[in-house]
């Protein structure tokens, strides 16, 4: 199953057929659908907010490339390429796939675009001072068509108002949710939150 692409999405879906095939082999069906849906949503947001549409599509397509790997192999790729991780990252499995994904794009897929790699690296935590592409990927991951969590309708409205407004809503949602669950909040998430939620 795949989302129905429209406009440039049809073109990019064909252009990146090899990545699509590769992801289909690598990911669970659910995660595969999610990846295509995030690509579609990132493209939509890129068009709306004047970002490079092809980069947005590709970042969306590949952002969770390592998500279904064994946790140990996610750590292994970081190790193999000499990436140091901080204590919170080390203790939080969910954060590994974003760091591993960025390394995978660069080292295994040969993607050289630093903006795409950075967008993948920060798609889970966010960070302060995010580029347009980084914000678009972070938000597309929240609002892709198959997402279904309490509050998703409000997030979809927020993302059509402005990126700043949506980033604010997404970061408040994340920080509140992690706090309620008693989970550690990464410094990058906290810095993103503090930057945008001033009072
Ligand atoms: O990979 P996806 O499921 O599509 O989405 P994602 O990469 O944005 O991961 C979302 C999860 O990451 C969600 O359960 C919240 C968690 N997360 C994001 N920032 C932090 C975090 N978890 C912890 N413990 N600390 C964070 O700062
Ligand atoms: Fe992810
Ligand atoms: Fe995702």
Q: Would you say residue 153 lies in a domain?
A: yes
Rg of the chain over all Cα atoms, to the nearest angstrom: 16
Q: 24-68: per-residue pLDDT in tens?
A: 999 999 999 999 999 999 999 999 999 999 999 999 999 999 999
Q: Would you say residue 1 lies in a domain?
A: no
CATH number for 132: 1.10.3210.10
pTM: 0.98
Residues with CB under 5 A from ligand 3 (ion): 64, 141
Q: 148-185: per-residue pLDDT in tens?
A: 999 999 999 999 999 999 999 999 999 999 999 999 99
Residue ranges making up the domain that contains 93:
8-198
> What is residue 60's predicted lDDT score, i.e. its pLDDT?
99
> What is residue 124's predicted lDDT score, i.e. its pLDDT?
98
Closest alpha carbon to 152 in 170, 134, 128, 175: 170
Q: Which residue has the tokens 């198959």?
A: 146
> What is residue 199's predicted lDDT score, i.e. its pLDDT?
56
Residues with CB under 6 A from ligand 1: 64, 67, 92, 94, 98, 123-125, 141, 174, 178, 183-186, 189
Question: Does 111 score more than 60 pLDDT?
Answer: yes
In angstroms, rounded to a whole number, what is the distance separating the alpha carbons of residues 99 and 118?
9
* Burial environment of residue 89 by CB neighbours within 10 A (0 to 12, 13 to 18, 19 or more): buried
Tally of structural domains, the chain: 1
In angstroms, rounded to a whole number, what is the distance separating the alpha carbons of residues 8 and 28?
26
Cβ(175)–Cβ(185) under 8 Å?
A: yes
> What is residue 197's predicted lDDT score, i.e. its pLDDT?
85
């Amino acid at each position: 199953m795949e989302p129905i692409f429209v406009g440039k999405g049809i073109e990019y879906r064909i252009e990146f057929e090899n990545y699509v095939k590769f992801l289909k082999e690598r990911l669970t069906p659910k995660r595969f659908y999610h990846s295509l849906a995030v690509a579609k949503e990132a493209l939509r947001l890129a068009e709306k907010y004047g970002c490079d549409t092809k980069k947005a599509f590709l970042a969306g397509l590949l952002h969770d490339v390592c998500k279904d790997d064994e946790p140990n192999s996610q750590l292994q790729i970081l190790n193999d390429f000499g990436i140091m991780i901080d204590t919170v990252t080390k203790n939080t499995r969910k954060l590994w796939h974003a760091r591993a994904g960025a390394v995978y794009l660069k080292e295994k897929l040969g993607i050289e675009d630093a903006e795409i790699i950075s967008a993948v690296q920060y798609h889970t935590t966010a960070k302060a001072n995010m580029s347009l592409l980084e914000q678009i990927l972070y938000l597309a991951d929240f609002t892709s068509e198959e997402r279904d969590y309490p509050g998703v309708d409000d997030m979809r409205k927020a993302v059509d108002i402005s990126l700043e407004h949506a980033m604010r809503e997404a970061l408040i949602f994340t920080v509140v949710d992690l706090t309620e669950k008693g989970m550690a909040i990464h410094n990058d998430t906290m810095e993103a939150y503090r930057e945008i939620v001033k009072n």
